[in-house]
Structure 1
Amino acid sequence: MHSPNGDLYHREREMGLLQGAVGELALGRPTVATIHGPHGIGKSALLNAVPRLLPPGTLVLRARCHPSESQFPYSMVSQLFDPVLGGAGGPGTPGPGLGEAGPTHEALLGLLRTTRSLAVDRPVAILVDDLTNADPHSLRWFSYIARRLDDLPVLMVATLPASAAAQVAEQLGPLPYLLRLWPEPLCPTCTTELVDRAFDSPVDQELAALCHTLAHGNPLVLHDLVTRLRRTHVPPGSPDPEQVLPIGAQALSETVLAWLDEDDPCASELLTQLAVLGPDTEPAVSAALSKHGEVHDQQARETLVRAGLLEAGAPGRFTHTAVRPAVLARVSAHERLVLHGRAAAVLARLGAPARQTADQLILAGCDWGIDVLRGAGIQAAGVGDHESAARYLRRALTLLEQRGAPGAEGDENAAKEAREREESFLDLTVRLGAVELHRDLDSCSRQAAAAADSPLGPVRRAEALARLASPALVSRIEGAQPFVRVCGELAALPAPPREHLLRLTAQTLLTGHRSGLRRAARLAAADPGDPAAHVFAGALAAAAAASGRLGTARRMALRVAAGPAGAPEGTAPASTAGPVGAALALTWTGDLDGAAALADRLISMSRASDDHATTLLAHLVRSEVRHRRDAHTDAHTDAEAALHLARRLNAPALAGAAAAAAARALVGLGRVAEAAALLTGEPAAGDAHPFIKALSLQAHGTVAAALGDHTAAVRLFLDCGHRLALRGITHPGCVTWRAQAAASYRALGEEAASATILDGAPRQRGTAPRPRPQPRQPERARTLLSPAEQRVAELVVRGSSSLEVAEKLFLSKRTVDTHLGRIYRKLGIHSRHELAGAIGEELPV
């Protein structure tokens, strides 16, 4: 606890030393005291406390120096002696014998005699504030007199900035009666007392601590800060830190930072650099920017540490969050851009890490540095910072686009430049797509589409897309189209690259297309054990299971699950299309144990490689497996994990699939209202894969059936089957919509319709085929058909061909044929003539 000395806090030591000097004065012995310290530390307050310590009758000579008077010879001497001697001229007029050319020895001797004569019968105290601002003549006098006080009762006290300490030590250091004072910053206790006193009431301890940190124990800064807080009516008992910090930043700007500009421009320049570029800026960079050299840079850093703006250490940190805003408020936007640009150039010249240079390039808006940005993107992606990697690569692509096309057509150099530009564009596009695969699947799809439009030829396009191949991208038509198109181009070549064709064909198989299938199958058969062949085999297994070739699908899936020959156990596959396809095939063929084991392995490997897209798909597969095992709690956990990842990856189609899986699990847990709310709150992607749309329809049907709306449930289940048929997914085990539709038919009392819909469902081995239902009565038959099916049936029985029906109803012929197939199954018939009888109309002859 420090007791106050009047208005002085935390100054017991300094006041004691001054009291000792006054005691020496009373004994007729001299003292020269210098008070050093930064602006605002209280040097003048200590100087002003000296007169009340002096013995009675002491002659006090006072002067306060100002830079504006430094051009007037002996201006400080005149302030000291004119009140006593009665100078004839105005302020700054030299006394008798003092010329303007400079202090001669005779003049200095004359002033010494004057001082001696004044100290003959009484002590003399000479008090000078801001001595360093005195004119050169007066400074020479002060030094001359101070060294010649051995037998005089004279006390000389002067305040000086900390930067003048070395100069004083050089000139006056040997004096035996020299006393040097360094006032310390206020302690937290004194700061709290001063703040309490200013607010006239106890303040919140956090506010007092914040004031102490911002002021760094500087009394003048603290006084300015508290005055501003009171002026803005900050409540002392419950202050808002968000309100205090801007006020603190403004106080720092108008005190400490202003003093720094005046006293040490180099330190002020360094502080600006650190505020704009960041406190982690290396000394070599800041030294190169300031052009003062590393020695001056280190001295400037020490000044900032003493000023309480920077923490000690390399690199230094700002002492408080308010420091940087205070500095930045003094820097214009143009100055910031210039500084960022200079920093980028210096960093590139010094060979700094690409990411550090790239950050400055982006902030400065420079029109150069594509290679630096590319390197920064690679570095950031390598450490898993995909957000920064995407920012760097997008900026590089923007700069490349801004360059425009090269020179005149027909010029060989222009053609070479154009080729190099397209190569660079494709490389940056693929790198950006690979990064977006970890953070934004929609953006990755756009990069894949841009790569598919490259003019560099089908092989380069295929090579680029093979690097982006992920089953997560085929969840939307937009993401699938580039792979289908480029795969078709590649398959048409006389000798397509084997690996690229196998990987792209695997990707297109998962979309439901078969571009390049025959050729890829021949290439895979030539070496079925390599990684590319395993990727293709996994996707082919899923396609085989979807079309009902269960034995083939299961054999291929098990081979893929075992991994390529010679691959270390636990190694992540080069492409996840194979394992994901194999996991789907095992699920659809009923090998739930194998599917669960493969899904577990995929989750483990994809998490280790930070592959969120594959983790999402694996959670969906495992949720499906657990749903089929009636482990609804676990299925819901997996579905929720997949939904979280889908939202994080900006994948609305996969979010819809995850929501559908979660809703089914919730229905299994009896939480039907939650399931309905989940499906309502998750918007469906308009261009989702038909399989995902079918999953969503099945989930909506499941919820409708659980709510008792079996009419709506039947409609949803039948639409689900229609979507699956459009993509050739004919195996009923892929999505169990038939059994659910049959249950809803039975709930409606439609036993015959239930039996018909189950005719295509999987049967247990050894059971006899179900008897085919007889054609229904016309009135009853019509009620089984949806409005769309009734319109198709009516036109068919009137003699229209499928193509004519399609033209009249504005449908595709394939859709009409699908409607007919569903109509035949519902009514238990096989031909158009049977259709006429079933609905009570006759075909025209």
Structure 2
Amino acid sequence: MPPLLHRDRELAVFKDAIDGLRIGRPTIAAILGRNGMGKSALLGAITEMLPPRSVVLRARCHPSESHFAYGVVRQLFDPVLSAGGRPRGQFDRASTGDGTASHDLLLSLFDITRDLITQQPAVIVIDDLPFADTPSLRWFSSLARRLDDLPVMMVATLSADAPAGLVAELGGLPYARLTQLRPLCATCTGDFVAQELGAPPDVELASFCHTLSQGNPLVLRELTSRMRHERVSPGAPDPDQVLEIGTATLSDTVLEWLREHDPVAFELLTQLAVMGSNTDPTVAAMLSGQGELQVQQARRTLAQEGLVTAGTPVRFRHAVFRAAALSRIGTDARIDLHERGAALLARLGAPATQTAEHLMLTVSGWGVPVLRTAATEASTARQYGDATRYLRRALACSDDPAVIHELMSQLAAVELHHDLDACARHADALVTAAPDPARLAGPLLGLASPALVAGAVGARPFVTVVQELAAAPDPPREPLLRLTAQVLLWGHRAGLRRSVRTAAANPADGPAREFSGALAAMAAAGGRYPRTARRLAARAVLGPSSPDRPAGAGLVGAALAFAWTGDPEEALAVCARIVEEARAWDQPELAVLGLLIRSDIGQRRGDAAAGLRDALDARARAEAIGAWMLAAAARACGARALVALERTEEAAALLSQSTVPANAHPLIKSLALEAQGLVAAADGDHATALNLFLDCGHRLSARGVTNPACLPWRTHAARAYTALGEHAAARTIVSEPPVTRDRAPDERQPQGQSLLTPAELRVVELVRQGMSSQEVAERLCLSKRTIDTHLGRIYRKLGIRGRHQLAAALGH
């Protein structure tokens, strides 16, 4: 590999100049380029191309020596005069005094130069000319203007930020050659990396090396040297290791040069790394104590170095550039800059979200109002993750109980859209922190989403507050009815009687219709009042929802009631309305419920493919908002559909992805048990399936869900009994339809039998088969005490004293 990369054009230019030097033609050459671009290396290559016996005068400038008068001139001429035995008196006289370059003095230095080239050409090479002392610069300029008939080549390197006047002066001479060093191309970078690491690099590694070095040879050489030392595999590099090496390389090269030569640009880069690349220049100037013009110049410098973009707003060209800048800042300094930046942005009236991002990284407690405002702005923009972060930070900074209560209410309202389980926990914490129901009714009303009562933790605060409201002398109408609707969907009857009386005063308004929908679901689940359930459901969907909130609980309850009372078309229409209102009100958890109900209806109608699509859509949406109870329900619905599609392995895999939370809604638990039973039955394990179906029925019956339309566990259990050869048990478990109270008892049905509930009829049938109470309890998955209680109630209803009178009382 040649020592110089990508420099063929430049070397050709200087070869031409050296050829001219042989015939007495002068040249003034300026090599311009950023730090590390290979200016010094190019100077070395030029000197190796010179004719034999050429006089070469060399000097290297440095800012620390710029106050020594004629320091550069002495570097150039001392070695030549000492080696050649020439008299130094004229030179010493010319280069002493007060440092001013008089005309006579410059002429004397010109004579010295002319004397040196009487026999052979001379080449004057000066590295970093802009750092030369002022008298030496004047000598250089004076000599450059007098080379018309002298075989002299003057070559100087200049940085990219060299004074424009100096560049213009040199470029105006007829024998001047200005050479701007270009960055290495991507191909040259890849070739260099391959040679240094001993093998062709991975495409992404080559691209990273080119991006980080910006085509700068010195940075690239340092980067590859470190990668070689760390034994980075060029074909299969570790991205984290390469990033770490790149960050350190950039810090020790480009950023170190910047710190030494342009402190203002380095400070601006630090501010951009800490405060954000889109920081306004005015803010940057205020934070650094610099003028805006200085900051603008610093921005141009950073753009020239390839670290940031040139436009507005300023952006880092690569994440590694910001990481390198941050690596040079101590923790305390970073926190202090965030603190000062946040205070300044707050005073300047910057957007609260911008200020909040800096407050998040400080230890200050003064920014709670800013964080709350930022959370509101983020919520309005539907950036719920950011709003949650701001409010949690505000909670950590607050110690005022009233403020903490307000923050918790605001946080729970945000988490309703972002993290449903966290919302349930905060709603529960609100009740614990402030048990005053009047104070809690408002915040809970904003959280009254039916999805929140999918678990016991989310339902508990509603039950507590409703109980308190129902016991109050004059409870507020809307909170009582809407919160009671939440409680009814959980399956609890807290505040039911008081709410029924309150709703009767104006049954057509929004709160009453929402309450009616939830009550319809409870009535339909019991299976005794189907016409009443449909009537309540029809009332719930009558007219538009409230203009200030969707009728979530009312619509969900109505959809369930229609589905469970044999009106799937109406249920589907309500589901469509639920999904639409969820979209309009940005309530994704409400859309999940609509999809779940629609999935269940699709499977009931024999369209398992549609049910599967809705179930998988509901699962994805539920998981996106942390609604793990609803996600479990969606997996169960999806598994049922997969079993119907004869894709049992997929169904089992779907159910195995997670377990149903212990505090999930009984209907969700039962749904999961049913799905597991269907998978077991499809695999031929009917004993396991039967136990799962009976457990499902036990949980539903314990919560008053006796309508077989809710979950057809009896049908599944009968099939399992049949597969196991227990045909009598199969007939028994499916022969007991629920008693309907919306119509007169069937005249053909014995009067005694009409007095008993479905659960009591099941007990009677098994007792008549000769089973003991313990055997009946085991068959129905109940306790013996529960069976004895059932029997006592049966005897009282039928007016008999014991088992031996059951047959006569029932007309058998």
| TM-score w.r.t. length of structure 2 | 0.86
Partner of residue 535 from structure 2, selected from 540, 549, 555: 555
5 Å-filtered alignment, 1:233-632, equals 233-236=231-234, 239=237, 241-400=239-398, 404-405=399-400, 422=402, 424-455=403-434, 457-547=436-526, 548-564=528-544, 574-632=550-608
Which residue identity lines up with residue 101 of structure 1 in the other structure? Answer: D
Once the two structures are overlaid, the 10-residue window that deviates more, 574-583 or 723-732, is 723-732
Q: Is the 8 A contact 2:481 2:499 kept in 1?
A: yes
1:96 maps onto 2:93 in alignment:
yes
1:143 maps onto 2:141 in alignment:
yes
1:522 to partner: Cα distance: 3.7
SS of the residue 1:683 aligns to: coil
Q: Is the 8 A contact 2:99 2:135 kept in 1?
A: yes
Of all paired residues, the percent bearing the same amino acid is 47
1:167 to partner: Cα distance: 4.0
* CA shift in 2, pair 1:495/1:202, >3 Å: closer
Q: Is the 8 A contact 2:28 2:155 kept in 1?
A: yes
Which residue identity lines up with residue 538 of structure 2 in the other structure? Answer: L
Once the two structures are overlaid, the 10-residue window that deviates more, 348-357 or 230-239, is 230-239
Aligned residue in 2 for 1:798: none
SS of the residue 1:128 aligns to: strand
SS of the residue 2:308 aligns to: coil
1:753 to partner: Cα distance: 7.9
5 Å-filtered alignment, 1:725-740, equals 725-740=701-716
Q: Is the 8 A contact 1:557 1:586 kept in 2?
A: yes
1:554 to partner: Cα distance: 0.5
Distance in 1 (alpha carbons) for counterparts of 2:191 and 2:636: 64
1:759 maps onto 2:720 in alignment:
no
* CA shift in 2, pair 1:96/1:534, >3 Å: same
Distance in 2 (alpha carbons) for counterparts of 1:394 and 1:478: 20
RMSD of aligned alpha carbons: 3.8
Q: What do the CA deviations read for 1:76-112 (whole angstroms, capped 9, x no partner)?
A: 22222222323999x9x98235435323535444323
Which residue identity lines up with residue 450 of structure 1 in the other structure? Answer: A
Once the two structures are overlaid, the 10-residue window that deviates more, 542-551 or 581-590, is 542-551
Aligned residue in 1 for 2:182: 184
Aligned residue in 2 for 1:38: 34
1:834 maps onto 2:805 in alignment:
no
1:60 maps onto 2:56 in alignment:
yes
Which residue identity lines up with residue 102 of structure 1 in the other structure? Answer: G
Distance in 2 (alpha carbons) for counterparts of 1:621 and 1:233: 58
Distance in 2 (alpha carbons) for counterparts of 1:750 and 1:783: 21
* CA shift in 2, pair 1:61/1:755, >3 Å: closer
Distance in 1 (alpha carbons) for counterparts of 2:690 and 2:586: 41
SS of the residue 1:180 aligns to: strand
1:662 maps onto 2:674 in alignment:
no
* CA shift in 2, pair 1:130/1:714, >3 Å: closer
1:234 to partner: Cα distance: 3.7
Distance in 1 (alpha carbons) for counterparts of 2:621 and 2:497: 36
SS of the residue 1:387 aligns to: helix
Q: Is the 8 A contact 2:419 2:627 kept in 1?
A: yes
1:681 to partner: Cα distance: 5.4
* CA shift in 2, pair 1:677/1:458, >3 Å: same
Distance in 2 (alpha carbons) for counterparts of 1:444 and 1:333: 34
Which residue identity lines up with residue 559 of structure 1 in the other structure? Answer: R
Which residue identity lines up with residue 229 of structure 1 in the other structure? Answer: M
Q: What do the CA deviations read for 1:118-140 (whole angstroms, capped 9, x no partner)?
A: 34454332222222333344334
Partner of residue 18 from structure 1, selected from 14, 21, 30: 14
* CA shift in 2, pair 1:629/1:831, >3 Å: farther
Which residue identity lines up with residue 118 of structure 1 in the other structure? Answer: L
1:183 to partner: Cα distance: 1.9
Distance in 1 (alpha carbons) for counterparts of 2:746 and 2:717: 24
Aligned residue in 1 for 2:810: none
* CA shift in 2, pair 1:131/1:715, >3 Å: closer
1:821 maps onto 2:790 in alignment:
yes
Aligned residue in 2 for 1:221: 219
5 Å-filtered alignment, 1:156-171, equals 156-169=154-167
Distance in 1 (alpha carbons) for counterparts of 2:781 and 2:141: 115
Which residue identity lines up with residue 508 of structure 1 in the other structure? Answer: V
5 Å-filtered alignment, 1:696-711, equals 696-702=672-678
Q: Is the 8 A contact 2:717 2:730 kept in 1?
A: no
Q: What do the CA deviations read for 1:271-307 (whole angstroms, capped 9, x no partner)?
A: 2222233333333333332232332222112111211
1:591 to partner: Cα distance: 0.9
1:639 maps onto 2:630 in alignment:
no
* CA shift in 2, pair 1:749/1:138, >3 Å: closer
* CA shift in 2, pair 1:349/1:29, >3 Å: same
Q: Is the 8 A contact 1:775 1:828 kept in 2?
A: no
Q: What do the CA deviations read for 1:697-719 (whole angstroms, capped 9, x no partner)?
A: 44455556656666666655554
Structure 2 unaligned residues grouped into runs of 5+:
754-763, 808-812
Q: Is the 8 A contact 2:488 2:519 kept in 1?
A: yes
Once the two structures are overlaid, the 10-residue window that deviates more, 606-615 or 97-106, is 97-106
Once the two structures are overlaid, the 10-residue window that deviates more, 277-286 or 465-474, is 277-286
5 Å-filtered alignment, 1:116-135, equals 116-135=114-133
Which residue identity lines up with residue 367 of structure 1 in the other structure? Answer: G
SS of the residue 2:361 aligns to: helix
Which residue identity lines up with residue 537 of structure 2 in the other structure? Answer: A
Q: Is the 8 A contact 1:745 1:754 kept in 2?
A: no
SS of the residue 1:157 aligns to: strand
* CA shift in 2, pair 1:154/1:641, >3 Å: closer
SS of the residue 2:31 aligns to: strand
1:428 to partner: Cα distance: 2.1
* CA shift in 2, pair 1:546/1:235, >3 Å: closer
Distance in 1 (alpha carbons) for counterparts of 2:378 and 2:120: 77
SS of the residue 1:35 aligns to: strand
Q: What do the CA deviations read for 1:636-693 (whole angstroms, capped 9, x no partner)?
A: 3333333444444444443443344334434434455655565565423222333333
Q: Is the 8 A contact 1:739 1:758 kept in 2?
A: no
Which residue identity lines up with residue 820 of structure 1 in the other structure? Answer: T
Which residue identity lines up with residue 350 of structure 1 in the other structure? Answer: L
1:320 to partner: Cα distance: 3.1
Which residue identity lines up with residue 510 of structure 1 in the other structure? Answer: L
1:74 maps onto 2:75 in alignment:
no
Q: Is the 8 A contact 2:694 2:780 kept in 1?
A: no
Q: Is the 8 A contact 2:27 2:152 kept in 1?
A: yes
1:786 maps onto 2:798 in alignment:
no
Once the two structures are overlaid, the 10-residue window that deviates more, 242-251 or 751-760, is 751-760
* CA shift in 2, pair 1:832/1:66, >3 Å: farther
- The total of aligned residue pairs comes to 787
Distance in 1 (alpha carbons) for counterparts of 2:651 and 2:305: 62
Distance in 2 (alpha carbons) for counterparts of 1:146 and 1:350: 53
Once the two structures are overlaid, the 10-residue window that deviates more, 546-555 or 148-157, is 148-157
Distance in 1 (alpha carbons) for counterparts of 2:56 and 2:62: 20
Distance in 1 (alpha carbons) for counterparts of 2:529 and 2:174: 107
Which residue identity lines up with residue 154 of structure 2 in the other structure? Answer: M
* CA shift in 2, pair 1:605/1:161, >3 Å: same
Q: Is the 8 A contact 2:513 2:541 kept in 1?
A: no
Distance in 2 (alpha carbons) for counterparts of 1:215 and 1:253: 12
Which residue identity lines up with residue 789 of structure 2 in the other structure? Answer: L
Q: Is the 8 A contact 1:64 1:129 kept in 2?
A: yes
1:338 to partner: Cα distance: 2.1
Q: What do the CA deviations read for 1:594-640 (whole angstroms, capped 9, x no partner)?
A: 11221133224324544221122112212222233233333333333
